Structure formats: structure tokens, C-alpha cells
Amino acid sequence: MSNLDTHELYLNRELAQLAFNTRVLAQAEEASVPVLERLKFLCIVSSNLDEFFEIRVAGLKEQIKYNSTVTGPDGLTPRLAFKAIAQQVHALVARQYALLNEGILPELAQQDIRFLRRTQWNAVQSQWVKEYFFREVMPVLTPIGLDPAHPFPRVLNKSLNFAVELEGKDAFGRNSGTAIVQAPRVLPRVIRLPAAVAGCEYGFVFLSSVLHAHVGELFTGMNVKGCYQFRLTRNSDLFVDEEEVKNLREALQGELSHRHFGNAVRLEVADNCSPEMAVFLLSQFDLAPEDLYQVHGLVNLVRLMQVPLWVDRPDLKYPSFVPGLPMVLHKHEDMFSAVRAQDILLHHPFQSFAPVIEFIQQAARDPQVLSIKQTVYRTGADSEIMEALIEAARSGKEVTVVVELLARFDEEANINWAQRLEEAGAHVVYGVVGYKTHAKMMLVVRREEEGLRRYLHLGTGNYHPSTAKLYTDFGLFTTHPEICTDAANVFMQLTGLGKAGKLAHLWQAPFTMLSNVLAAIGGEIAHAKAGQPARIIAKMNALVDEKTIHALYEASQAGVKIDLIIRGVCALKPGIPGVSEHIRVRSLVGRFLEHTRIYYFHNGGAEDIYLSSADWMHRNLYRRIEVAFPVLDPRLKKRVIKEGLEPYLKDNCQTREMLASGEYIPLRPRRGKPYCAQTKLLFDLAKPIK
């Protein structure tokens, strides 16, 4: 390989994840992005950081708690990794709030979209806020003065709270000096004022401002010295002992409530919080100074995500569009005749997700359909697809649904769907103990004149209509006999207890996917060593698996040209002389979340294309049920290359290229020729709304 120390060849996963959030923040900083979309990108950073602390930082803290010195491929111990993370997150958060206060909010104000601070309220606004407080807020508040009979209350994960410094005695002569006010989740965090009161069409106040202005009403006869909003982030990783549990659904239902009260990992406070109060709060949650984040504004920017939905200003948002449809769907009355005619490839969100919903709805109503099998990872609390499965089960069809109960943060919705499906008579299984079922498959068996025929849908994204409008993904409809048989065998594994059989076309994790990926990389190495063209292109969310990275380094050393389009975490270092000089890594962050996984291997001109829901990560390759499926139709294979790869290799507007140091630099148009992949795909596949 190389005389470099092995650790020098890998980037830390957590730091790489922070680098991704820096790229998201850069979109919020981009002046060419409409201002309400910039606000959304800013909120996405906060949402991402929440999960980062709840899962990744929480895990590191657990390792530190038990004095673990185990290092990752990058050579960092948990303590060293945490120290580097804390430093970078503090800088990222400071940059985020500076952008909000100095850039986005002033620009919104210029467009008459105003967030009115307490110091800005006129008499009319102050009176409206006062009436709102007494009518809507005060009746549901429970202030807790701290004393031996009233210990520090349990604080829900990510909830809004206020620490109040008081002086004087209460009605019983007590003098604690400190009280906690918890804001119930039923209260909106952002409140819209009537236009006549606000003085503009869109005027908002924050709940924190409303409570700050009138907190004294909660402590009659006492003097409020200070009132400080704070928010606690807790470890939210659920623990279920899968070896001991007898009913996974019941065990998970019992565990969900504990998520709100896991170990504390981060404390956010307003920047006006006194040093004494900050120290007091840290001590209550057993946190250190580096766990404290003092912010200039709301302690939860995610709450601003709703604002673009409330503001009807199309000129301040991305242009609307109507997703397109493949021509074959215009030529046939129903989905079954269309899929029988040819394989159908859908490229979301540029092409509509409606055919997927229509397919399952037609299957539910069609008397010739005998059975439906589907995997469900994320689908949302309101899903037409799940309702169709329930309808099919009630009509007497054989319906089998593999529901992944451990889909992080969607556990409750999936538990509810599992219960409703079972009540309707469907067979519901929860996958395989110890492995998450992440593959996206829908298999329908239909009786036709020639006999039974299987119809199959495979996808790179979830069966979730809402995210299908925001995430880029491919979906394939096919009746290919061998691929359908492969899918049927995977379902048999998930519902039965038999051993994994050999699949003709699908690569399946945790059995054959990694070995097939490594073999395909090895094939390109052999072609390069033989002096033949050799090329690998991979597009996915993340690349961290050491075996795969090692194989890619070997391929680069053999002369294989490698392009990696990795949206998020990439632990591989490109451009290292003698190791990875033939590897380029780029990341595109734009209007849509890049979610498609594409594996391309030149293979002597055969151009093998596989689509999948699997990243090249440990969890996907070793601890999940995943499939990668080939695109065999030459016409559709060209489409995947033309739509899924080439535009992203040409993009010079929203793409950043990775350096060996882990830093990402933006690509800029040469000679004034900008090329935006997502805009090009919208132009080619969708229709704008004028």
C-alpha cells in the first residue's frame, strides 16, 4: 500500500459529519439562494446537529465515561475526538447565529417579514402580547421554585425551559432565589401577529420573548433578576436487548418514553445567561463547560422551519414545478400493463412518486392480485401506501409487511402502522433480530392468462411520499423473472428461518454485497493492470467502510480512475500521492437532498450499474438487510448514467471538491459557464409552474 501510517489514510467519521453540516450552512450563506430557502438550510443545520449530539456525541460520551481508549481507523481516541468535535461545533454554531442575526433576519425584514424583539414592540404590540400571554400561555404554565420540597424538575429532551433568578420571599416566606419554568410542547414557539398589530403582512414574535416580558406575573410579589431560556439535549439512542426480548414491539413501546430522559449531552442557553446560572445548570445535568453552547437568539432554530410554509411569498422561494412522468405511463391505462410492456425507471423528485402510490392502490383493488409483500422503513404518520396495504388485507389478499420498528425517530409511527396492519389481517414481521431491514422492495403476485406473474418495485429511497418530493432517488418497476425471484427469496429470508440462498442478480447485505463490491473493484484493478480502460463512479450518502476504502486505494494505485460523489461523510482521503491520486471526491448540497446510491463499474465496456439503498458504511454492509439491484435494460442504464452521474460530475455551482486534508473547496464555473445538476434535471424531466 504505502509507507504512510494507516491512520493518516482515514478521516474521523464525526468530524467528516461536521464538515457536511458546514457545507449545508454554506448553502444558507449563498446569496443566490432565495432567502426563505436560506432560512430552511439554517434550520436543517440545527436539526442535523440535534441528531448528531443525540446519537454520535452521546456514543462518544459513553465511551469516555468508561475510559475507553479504543481508536477508530483515524487513530483518535474518544476523548481526542470529542475535544476536536466540541471545538468545531462551537465555531459552527457561532457562524450559524451570526448569519441569522446579521444576514437572514435583516434580509427578511427588508421583505416585510419581521421577527419583533421585545425591545422593538410598540404600545399596540405590547398590549397584544400581554393579552396573548394571559389568554394562551399563563394558564398552562407551572413555575417551580427550587427548594428541598421542589427539587430540580426532570427536563425533557430538546424542550424549551426558562431558568429564573428571583429575589424576595414568596407567599409562604420561602426564599429559594431560583425557579424553573417549562414551556409545554402544546405552545407554539413562533407566534404570528395580526397584520394590523405587526405593521406588516408577516410579523412574528417568539414564545421566549412573550414569556420573558411577563415572567414576573408567575411570581407575584417577587422581583425577577433574570430570565434565561435553555434547552437540554439527551442521549436518544434506544436500547433493546434483542437477544432477551420476546416481543420487539412491546419492548420498544416501553423504551420510547425513556428517550426523553437519557443522559444529558449538551446544554444550550441564551447569551444573556449569567455565568452563575450557567454553572448551576451545568451542575444539575452533570455536564462540563465544553458542553455549554451560549447562543444569540432562539435556543432551537429548528422551530423556524415552519416559517417558510406560513409565508406565501413564491418570489422568496425556489420556483415550483410539476414532476414529470415517463412516456410509457401515458400510453397505458394501468400500472400493470405499463410494467408488463417494459421496465420503468422513475427519478424522484424530478419525476413523480405518484405511480408508486398508484401501483399499490391498483394492486389493493385488483381482484387478480393474490399477494403483496413490502418492506417499510420510513413512511410517515399519514401514508396512502400503508392505507392501501390495509385495504388489501381487509379485502382478503395475502399481505405481508416487513416493518422496521427500529428506524430511528420513526419508531412510534412504525409501531402504530404495524398494529393497524395486524388488526386488518396482514402478516407483520419485524425483520431479523440484530439487523435493520433497510432494503426498499414491493412485490406483487397477480394471476393472469399465462399464469402467475410477479411485479416488483425496487428503490433507493423510502416509501414516503413527502420525502420523495425533497430527496433524489431512483425507483425501478420490473417483471424480470430472475430479479423477481431474487426479491421473493429475500422476503422468504425475512419472514422464515431458512438459510440465505444464492441470488441471481441482487447483491444482498449482510451476505454478498460487500464481497460483490470488492470483487467489482478488483475487476477494475485487473483491467487497469492489463492496460485497459478502468473506471469506478459511486454516488451515495456516506463512505466509511475500511475494507472498501482500502480496495479503492488499491484501485487508484493500479491506475483506475475513480469519481466518488459522496453527499455526507467520507472517511477516504483523495489526492494522496502514491495512494489516491486517481480518486476525486465531491459533495453536492442543493435544493434537494441527494439520496441516490449508484454503483458504476466500467467492466470492459459493459458498464455495470447497480442501484441501492445502501451506503458503503459498516451498518449497511454488516448490520442491515440491504439489496443492490442491477439496471439491465440498456435504455434505462443510459438514463442512470445521463441523469444520475454525468450531471453531478459536471456541476460547478453547488459542488465542493474534497482535499486530502478533509477540507472542501467550492467548484466555480470556468469562462462564465455555470452548470447546476439539479436545475438541469428539473429542466429535462419536470415542468415549471409559471
- 248-256 vs 411-424: helix axis angle to the nearest 10? 140
462 Cβ contact partners less than 8 Å away, ≥ 6 residues apart: 377, 378, 379, 440, 468
| Three state DSSP letters for 427-466 | EEECCECCEEECCEEEEEEEEECCEEEEEEEEECCCCCCC
In angstroms, the CA 170 to CA 245 distance is 50
In angstroms, the CA 326 to CA 336 distance is 15
Q: How many CA within 13 A on the CB side of residue 626?
A: 27
The verdict on whether 296 is a catalytic residue reads no
10 Å CB burial of residue 32 (0-12, 13-18, 19+) is exposed
In angstroms, the CA 350 to CA 327 distance is 14
**Torsion angle of the four alpha carbons 86, 90, 96, 101, in this order, in degrees rounded to the nearest 10:** 160
In angstroms, the CA 210 to CA 70 distance is 48
DSSP state for residue 659 in the 8-state scheme: P
| Three state DSSP letters for 619-643 | HHHHCEEEEEEECCCHHHHHHHHHH
Catalytic residue among 347, 348, 438, 550: 438
Match 399465462 to its residue by C-alpha cell: 450
Give the bridge partners for 182, in sequence order.
161
Ramachandran class of 654: left when φ > 0, alpha when ψ lies in -120 to 50, beta otherwise: alpha
Which grid cell is 579?
Answer: 495512494
> From the DSSP assignment, how many helices (H) and strands (E) are in the chain?
23, 29
| Residue (of 484, 451, 453) closest to 337 by Cα position | 453
Query: For the residues of 546-614, what is the DSSP string, one character each?
Result: HHHHHHHHHHHHHT-EEEEEESS-B-B----TTTTTTEEEEEE-SSSEE--EEEEE-GGGT-EEEEES-
Give the bridge partners for 478, in sequence order.
456
Which grid cell is 120?
Answer: 422593538
**In one letter, which amino acid is 281?**
L
In angstroms, the CA 283 to CA 485 distance is 59
Residue 519 CB neighbour total at 10 angstroms = 13
User: Phi, psi (5° rounding) for residue 90?
Assistant: -60, -40
Catalytic residue set = 438
